[in-house]
Amino acid sequence: MEKPFSWRFTTPLFIGSALNPINSSMIATALVPIATGLGVPIGQTASLVTALYLASAIAQPTAGKLAAVFGARRVFVVGIVLVLLGGVLGGVAPSLAMVLSARVLIGLGTSCAYPSAMMLIQRRAAQTGMEKPPGGVLGGLQIAGMATAALGLPIGGVIVQTIGWRWVFFINVPAALIALAATLIWIPRDPVPQERRNVRGVLSSIDLAGIIGFGLATIALLLFLFSLQNPNWTMLAAAVVLFVALTLSELRAASPFLDVRLLVRNGALTRTYIRFALVGLCVYVVMYGVTQWMEAARGMSALSVGLLLLPMGVISGVIVAPISKRNLVRGPVIVAAVASLIGSIGVAFLTSDTNIAWIIAITVVFGVVLGTASSGNQLALYLEAPPEQLGVASGLLRTFGYIGSIASSAIAGIVFHTEATDSGVRTIGAIMIVVSLIAVAFTVFDRSLRRHAGTTSHA
């Protein structure tokens, strides 16, 4: 008899979950060739990065809510189809507007994978009488969903330099087709709903008003973060007003998209989000800020810089597996925060004359950070989130990750406003040290983590 979590069940989930982080970072190596190929200013191609982040930050928790209402397999399949369409559209696009549309489709589609996969795994565990799935399953999902982010730059660099920027989009087509076929063949269909619902009942179940409100508030917040180089205070004010209105609305909703009471009542879950964003900010500063300095101050090519990040992806992937198999939470998240602090101190001592071995050592340290933070915080979320809200909760974890990522790019933009210099990278290191110290405080003094020190079960 086949195991409940065989490779047939997990393969499509892992492939689908890997598409978002890889697409997020892979585009960085293609921005200049896209501008050249389409005859547009290089500054305009930055919108391709922004578009996927905005679409993903909103779509991740939304996909979780839709999966809870319509079925996780259905939402997963719809997401893969959107990725397929986005890959084809981006590969043949004759204009920047069409490329931008393709990025939005890819952002929406890839965002469906992770929250849906978490729900499918949870459902399979419940059906087989498990309190939680085997640690290797969540670990594999985390390797696919986070550790692969560091692989996007070298993969994109090789693709762009060998077969052209359009294949940064076309590469999604075979991956999506494989994931789609595997899902349709190997993933069991969603249960048939017990009762039929009319349109009004469905809209109430998904809380359309809450989704729209969350989307508008998140867009305003992320646009403010993108504008930090020249702060758009209007966007910040709009974000505050929209989040306040969203909170008041969700408190009255029958089936809230964003369960405000849960976030207030479940402090452990909220701290998991904050911890993930803080550590993620430091990881992404290395991926996007320090690499920018390496290109400008040390004259390294984009491909060389991408290859330097390979240790980060490899180390994080290697670390996730043993941690996840043992279902560890507190130890890994403490290691992540402390390692982030150590790595940040290393960044603060970088100069143009620094030996390349020092830079590699820093990427290795942040590989440890990425692996321990992603595995520990994912399991903490799985254990703390109510089962019926796991999809939205999983999506929100990714949204907080995007907030950290966007904040990191904003920090790099402010510090390297005119030029990526040695003094600038030291300033970035100092900022990272402060952020890491906050992450250490949110981890070491979090008493709720102590109940997850050993074998744990769903609350």
Q: How far out from the chain centre does Cα 300 lie? A: 27
Contact 64, 119 (CB under 8 A): yes
Query: Domain check: are 156 and 72 in the same one?
Result: yes
Q: What is the band of 1 on the pLDDT scale with cuts at 50, 70, 90? A: low
Report the distance separating Cα 212 and Cα 394, nearest Å.
19
Query: Domain check: are 342 and 416 in the same one?
Result: yes
**Overall size of the chain counted in residues:** 459
Q: What is the band of 197 on the pLDDT scale with cuts at 50, 70, 90? A: low
pLDDT of residue 264: 86
Contact 123, 72 (CB under 8 A): yes
For residues 218-246, average pLDDT: 89
Query: Domain check: are 295 and 368 in the same one?
Result: yes
Residue 147 has pLDDT above 90, yes or no: no
156-to-28, 37, 160, 359 alpha-carbon distances in Å: 8, 16, 6, 21
Query: Domain check: are 268 and 190 in the same one?
Result: no
Q: How many CB atoms lie within 10 A of CB 349?
A: 12
Query: Domain check: are 421 and 324 in the same one?
Result: yes
For residues 55-69, average pLDDT: 90
pLDDT of residue 239: 93
Lowest mean pLDDT among 25-39, 79-93, 208-222, 368-382: 25-39
Block residue for tokens 């130890």: 331
Query: Domain check: are 221 and 364 in the same one?
Result: no
Report the distance separating Cα 279 and Cα 284, nearest Å.
9
Q: What is the pLDDT of residues 72-90, one digit of tens each?
A: 999 999 999 999 999 999 9
Q: What is the band of 459 on the pLDDT scale with cuts at 50, 70, 90? A: very low
Query: Domain check: are 232 and 274 in the same one?
Result: no
Query: Domain check: are 43 and 146 in the same one?
Result: yes
Query: Domain check: are 242 and 269 in the same one?
Result: no
Residue 148 has pLDDT above 50, yes or no: yes
Terminal alpha carbon distance of the chain: 31
For residues 55-67, average pLDDT: 91
pLDDT of residue 146: 67
The larger pLDDT score, comparing residue 101 to residue 138, is at: 101
Tell me which of 218, 252, 286 is where a domain ends.
252
For residues 420-445, average pLDDT: 92
Report the distance separating Cα 13 and Cα 450, nearest Å.
31
For residues 157-165, average pLDDT: 87
Query: Domain check: are 225 and 280 in the same one?
Result: no
Q: What is the pLDDT of residues 336-387, one digit of tens each?
A: 999 999 999 999 999 888 888 998 999 999 999 988 998 888 888 888 888 8
pLDDT of residue 51: 84
Q: In 105-245, at which residue ranges do the beta strands (DSSP E only) sit?
A: none
pLDDT of residue 2: 66
Residue 27 has pLDDT above 70, yes or no: yes
Residue 40 has pLDDT above 80, yes or no: yes
The larger pLDDT score, comparing residue 452 to residue 17, is at: 17
Contact 148, 313 (CB under 8 A): yes
Query: Domain check: are 237 and 345 in the same one?
Result: no
Residue 110 has pLDDT above 50, yes or no: yes
For residues 263-277, average pLDDT: 90
For residues 10-35, average pLDDT: 87
Q: Which domain holds residue 386?
A: 260-459
Number of domains in the chain: 3
CATH number, domain containing residue 391: 1.20.1250.20
Contact 268, 384 (CB under 8 A): yes
Residue 173 has pLDDT above 70, yes or no: yes
- The fraction of the chain above a pLDDT of 70, given in percent, is 93
Q: What is the band of 406 on the pLDDT scale with cuts at 50, 70, 90? A: confident
pTM above 0.85, yes or no: no
Query: Domain check: are 355 and 410 in the same one?
Result: yes
